Structure 1
Amino acid sequence: MKIFNYKLKLVLFVMAIGLTISCKKENLSPKPEPTPFSAALEAGVSSLPAAGGKLNIVITAGADGWWITTPQTDWVTITRMFGSGDFKLPVTIKANTSGVARVVTIKVNPTFNLPPVTFNINQDK
């Protein structure tokens, strides 16, 4: 019986060492980091005449995502409200027939809780 207990203890000891060695911590890939983000009005144009027109927002986001928030108006058309990576976003402003100058605020929101970039686009009366 003593020999059996000794062999059982030896087997359990070898198994415990084997489990300890095989249970080492995995080297996981690091958390994703945000790529540099920027958004700018192409050619610095932030004002349009009463006749309306088109301008572009140049978005640089690397591989990360972005989305647009703006009040809903019938005089502003944005072709794409979300995306990822670098993109030239066209914004079309219809003619202003209201007789008063107007402004629309467009916000480009990046992922990773980075601060948004806000643009005010003015239109003459």
Structure 2
Amino acid sequence: MPPDKRIVFEQPCPIRDVLDRIGDQWSLLVLETLRGGTKRFNVLLREIGDISKQMLARTLRRLEQDGFVARTVFPEVPPRVEYTLTDLGRSFLEPMQALVFWADIHHQAIVAARQRYDQVIAPGGH
């Protein structure tokens, strides 16, 4: 069925599946950070900033499970683990960059709309 004829609530729906996996708070930040090349866990942790170790580990596992990220363990003591984008992950960078660009352009308008909404709704509720 052509994409414009699909009903997004029908299963399986590719866009719902993908957004469920990469539409969380951290996945796009991890992918954007890996755009710069292969990185170790602690480097990702430091560059992303306010993500916990547990959340970073969970996010990396999900991205690896979905084929966006490859994890390489080196047989060293102490163990060295590196993360890099796969071909699939790199193929997502262009559409992701379009979203980043859109967000940069429209963020102030979204914040202003949110503030207007909160001023109207907050005093009396819905």
TM-score, with length taken from structure 2: 0.24
Higher strand share goes to which structure?
1
Q: Tell which has more relative contact order, 1 or 2 (C-alpha 8 A, sep 6+).
A: 1
